[in-house]
Amino acid sequence: MLLATGARPATGPFAQRVARLVGLWEADGRSDRWLAGGTAFFLLNCWSMTPGRPATPALRDYLAACRTAAGGGPGWDALLRHRINCPGCGVSWSLENIRACTGCSSYTCDDCQEADHRGEFCEVVG
């Protein structure tokens, strides 16, 4: 998997992994088999919404295809309402109120953000 998902960490800078994934999707005729869903879609979408992060037209198209495959706006809203426990404190949070690490896809709340993660943290913006 090009994007980290739980126990299967990915290697390399997140931006490079995203570019490779989008490139594979385009090279394969924009096949649905390359679309990110669940945790990977959440992480990718949040990362792409970080203020100041440029989004290429291909990335915007890829995210739109992922969003459509996830059920559109209602699917995204349902994903944001999904609850997860912060591994640091055990408090239950909805995904829209927690951060995710681009290196290992683990979640953490603002109070418990750990320094030993391999990536940057991103969160829902706006």
CA-to-CA separations, 47 to 9, 12, 31, 66, 90, in angstroms, rounded: 17, 15, 22, 14, 24
Query: What is the pLDDT averaged over residues 42-66?
Result: 89
The domain limits of the chain are: 14-122
Look at residue 111 in the predicted model and tell me its pLDDT. 83
Both tokens assigned to 51: 């203020």
Residue 119 reports pLDDT greater than 70: no
**DSSP for residue 2:** -
Instruction: Judge whether residue 6 has pLDDT over 60.
Output: no
pLDDT at 9 over 80: no
- pLDDT of amino acid 61: 97
Tell which wins on pLDDT, 100 or 18: 18
The mean pLDDT value for 94-114 works out to 82
One-character DSSP codes across 22-90: HHHHHHTTS-GGG---HHHHHHHHHHHTSTT----HHHHHHHHHHHHHTTHHHHHHHHHH-EEE-TTT-
- Token pair belonging to 24: 């594979």
Radius of gyration from C-alpha coordinates of the chain = 14
Buried (b) or exposed (e) across 30-51, using 16+ Cβ within 10 A?
A: eeeebbbeebbbbbbbbbbeee
Q: What's the rounded mean pLDDT across residues 48-77?
A: 91
Q: How crowded is the C-beta side of 53, counted as CA atoms within 13 Å?
A: 16
